Amino acid sequence: MKKLFLLLTFIGSFVVNAQETGTISGLITDATGMPLSGATVSIKTLNKGAMTDFDGRYAIDNVNVGTYDVVISYIGYETLNKNVSVVSGQTTTLDASLKGSDTVLDEVILTANKKPQKITDVPATVNVITAREIAEFPSFNIGELAARQKGVDFVRAGVLGTGINIRGFNSSFNSKNLQVTDDRLSSLIATGLPFGSFTTISKDDIERVEILLGPNGTLYGPNAHNGLVSTITKNPRTSEGTTFAIGAGNQSVFTGRVRHAQIIDDKFAYKVHFERAQGTEFDYTDSVYVGTKGYKELDLDRDFTSQKYGASLNYKPTAGSELTGYYGHSNSSNIGVTSAGRNQIKDWRIDEAQIKFVSKNFFANTYYTWSKTDDTYAMNQRTQNYVSFIDNGFSDAEARERSYKEQWFQLGPGQGNGIPLERGALFVDDSKRFNAEAQYNNNWDEFYLTAGAQYQKDMADSHGTYLLDDGGIDLAQTGVYTQLEYKMEDSGWGFLFGARLDNHDLYGSNFIPKVAITKKVNNGTFRITYGKGMAVPSILNLKGKLFGGLVLGNGEGFTLANGTKIPKLDVETINSYEIGYKGKLSDKLFIDTNAYYNVSDNFISPLVNVAATSPVTHMGDTPIGDVVPGSNGAVVLTYLNFGHVDTYGFDVGFNYYFDSSFRGVFNYSYFGRTLDLDDMANDGNMDGVVLETELPINTPNHKFSLGLHYNKGKFYGAIYGRFVEKYDFFSGINIAAKTQDLTGDGVNDIIENARNGRTWNYGQLGGFTIDANAGYFLTDDLSLGVNITNLFNAEIREFVASPAISTLVSFELKYNINFFKK
């Protein structure tokens, strides 16, 4: 009898408890009524939540009776807060329609902590190029949109070539900013340079671009050094339909694109894309000097082409998880600027294959990258080689053929008194990279955990053309990381600690910490952060062999004839301290500002002639003549580690909303540095005197931009003015600088509008330009847009070994249709 009583008591208690809870369920869509699969619906005070399924539906069960604030968020859309009451034993319906994010503080971003997070909660400075900005930018080259972001140094080398730098020390061969696309590294394997126009994705498939300023190495590993650029593509489940686009402009620019996405059923969806762009670069030749005589670059081809295609298949094993398979390909031909002259890039192919799994608590990712070119060459070196044969009586046909690999060295009168020297101008690349990552995420009340591991293996192979790579070069690195966050919702305080341990085949273990404190105050968030970044020398830095050994990588160190030891390259590190605030100053005015101080050690130098004071006798333990047959070590250009340099600056960005259709933007950045002129570790050319130009910042001290955005009805448009203070730029043989005396001896070492060494100096970079774009929807599905770069044709040069940028005009006709819209 007693047992029966206890059983009835338990059942009664269970029924009572069941009646004291309820359920919240509903449907989440976008503004057009399309269900949003994967949206997050959460009750933070209870640490309960759910993700929407294929149909945009969700349910949160066993919610205690009461009234709660429910937060609904999705990447690229406004975060919505709804108040809902839960009734005992009943289901409360909460439906919501999310709008594309119209204001800065509504943004939800993914990159900073590898999970969805409201931008005000992120302890970092983040710029976002939104889906709307991309869709309303009628040009094939969306790299131009980076010019409108705060804290970013935007450079343009021509019609096609655009690039960015973050917080100083730019160069013609800049690999200090890590770029990723859908969690894939977007960088060349041997050089570490960003893909740029080599990317395998097309404009219409890009959902957003997130640019993080400062070190982000804890979660992303080595070389997320000065900043991180993350491109996120569209999920076919939320972008179903077909897009056709054609564009044209001056400089013979033409582009054609098509993208199609379709949901097959509640498990499968897919997308495919194709893009081709072509045009002609500005009429500019970078002079090649042989002695004091200048020559035009041999066989200069100013036409550029870019072709890319890809496909993705998305599979949902469960309502809250997704498995994605992707393959992409690109083929590019164009002109590339380097620190040793320009390259004629011919049919450089990139292939990527990826499998990625994402769920609430687990993330797994693996991908393989191929890089292939057979006919790319250095125009500067090939032209010098050609001239050496022509000047010594060889025929034009033979001079052209031999110019790819040899230079003729004349010993006396007549062809019989000379010898061919290995001075290869050809770049062959047959490199591969394998990456894998696994990550676990979870939270318990106010405590959040992220932990993961990454593996990367670079397999570089130049077939001996520009690397010391007989049989190829394999380098692997493994990293493990964790990030802990504690968020005190009631008080607004947040604390973050991250740590990463990387092990590199050549450099052993390196520790990368990160610490952040945030405090929410009314309509904004203050933050203070410390982060460490590191840059591992690229394979080219370590194993390069260019132009027959005139340029050598410094992976082993060198010995000079006078006994001087040149140490091998070490890892470059940066310790960054930052304070910042982002939030509302009024209902219409938003601010995002930061100030930072960076301490850099072992900074990797530009190319330096280490044989300037004494010939090189050995590379490591190997005589230089065995490394480069016939070399006497009189000229060896390589990379060194500088000692120590401090940099500092601040960025401020204002967004003012006149109304829901009209927005104004103002961005300003300042950058400065101090260099210890008494530290001989900063003596780049080892002449016993440290000069400011030996570690050039290649960055303006001041820059600002002012923009206006308008979007109402069928019309959209934007206009931006951008000012970059004039500044000097030194990179390898390239010089863009004012006339100046570097050494203080009363003689100008740099002369503007004259030949300086092996190049012509046109003077400082920078200036003021105005860009504008506008468009109109002829129908609900058909739009016509125009973009004008350098509207008033200002005389401005933005990069070394590059032309002045004249006005560029492009038109784009785009047709969107969705046969599958519910």
Chain-centroid distance, C-alpha 416: 52
Residue 741 neighbours by CB under 8 Å, 6+ apart: 747, 748, 749
| Average pLDDT rounded to a whole number, residues 519-528 | 90
Residue type, 591: I
Q: What integer pLDDT is reported at residue 220 of this predicted model?
A: 82
Multiple choice CATH, 117-536+571-604+639-817, 3.30.420.40, 2.40.170.20, 3.30.565.10, 1.10.357.10: 2.40.170.20
Q: What is the per-residue pLDDT for 720?
A: 96
Q: What is the pLDDT of residues 284-303, one digit of tens each?
A: 999 999 988 999 999 999 99
pLDDT for res 236: 94
Mapped onto helix, strand or coil, the DSSP state of residue 690 is coil
Q: 19-100: which CATH number, 3.40.50.620, 3.40.50.2300, 2.60.40.10, 2.60.40.1120?
A: 2.60.40.1120
pLDDT at res. 527: 94
The dihedrals phi and psi of 197, each to the nearest 5 degrees, come to -70, -10
Q: Per-residue pLDDT averaged across 144-156, rounded?
A: 91
How does 156-170 read in b/e, with b if 16+ C-beta sit within 10 Å?
Answer: bbbbbbbbbbbbbbb
pLDDT value of residue 5: 47
Question: Which of the 8 DSSP states describes residue 794?
Answer: -
pLDDT range class, residue 224, cuts 50, 70, 90: confident
Q: Is the pLDDT of residue 730 over 70?
A: yes
For the entire predicted model, the pTM comes to 0.88
Share of the chain above pLDDT 90, in %: 56
pLDDT band at 519 (very low <50, low <70, confident <90, very high): very high
pLDDT for the residue numbered 374: 96
Residue type, 228: L
Q: What is the mean pLDDT of residues 746-772?
A: 93
The reported pLDDT for the residue numbered 4 is 47
CB-based burial of residue 790 (10 Å sphere; 0-12 exposed, 13-18 middle, 19+ buried)?
buried
Whole-number average pLDDT of the chain? 88
- State how far the alpha carbon of 131 is from the alpha carbons of 40, 136, 207, 239, 465, in Å: 20, 9, 5, 11, 42
What is the pLDDT, as a whole number, of residue 76?
63
The mean pLDDT of 710-739, rounded to a whole number, is 93
Count of CB atoms situated within 10 Å of the CB of 95: 13
pLDDT for residue 584 = 87
Distances (CA, A) of 208 to 76, 91, 110, 232: 8, 36, 10, 5
What's the average model confidence in pLDDT over 632-649?
A: 88
- What's the pLDDT band for 649 if we cut at 50, 70, 90? very high
Query: What pLDDT is recorded for position 603?
Result: 83
List the alpha helices (DSSP H) in 471-546. 539-543
Element containing residue 7 per DSSP (H, E): helix 2-19
Please give the average per-residue pLDDT across 464-476, as a whole number: 91
The encoded tokens of residue 497 equal 């600690």
37-41, 225-229, 481-485: least confidently modelled range = 37-41
Instruction: Tell me the per-residue pLDDT of 605-636, one tens digit each, with 9 for 90 and over.
Output: 777 888 888 899 999 999 998 888 878 888 88
Encoded tokens for 705: 């931009």
Helices marked H in 586-670 = 624-627
- On the question of pLDDT at 175 being above 80, the answer is no
Q: Which of 104, 546, 37 is closest to 338 using CA atoms?
A: 546
Backbone angles phi, psi at 55, to 5 degrees: -90, 10
Q: Strand 21-30 to strand 91-93: parallel, antiparallel, or no bridges (unpaired)?
A: parallel
- pLDDT at residue 115, as a whole number: 65
Q: What tokens does 448 get?
A: 């959040």
114 pLDDT tier (thresholds 50, 70, 90) = low
- Pairing verdict, β 702-712 and 662-675: antiparallel
What single-letter DSSP state applies at residue 213? Answer: E
pLDDT tier, 755 (very low <50, low <70, confident <90, very high otherwise):
very high
- Asked if the domains 19-100 and 117-536+571-604+639-817 are classified in one and the same CATH topology, the answer is no
**CA-wise closest residue to 249 among 225, 220, 221, 282:** 282
pLDDT at 31 over 80: no
Closest Cα to residue 573, out of 515, 531, 516? 531
Kindly list the domain boundaries of the chain, sorted by start residue.
Answer: 19-100, 117-536+571-604+639-817
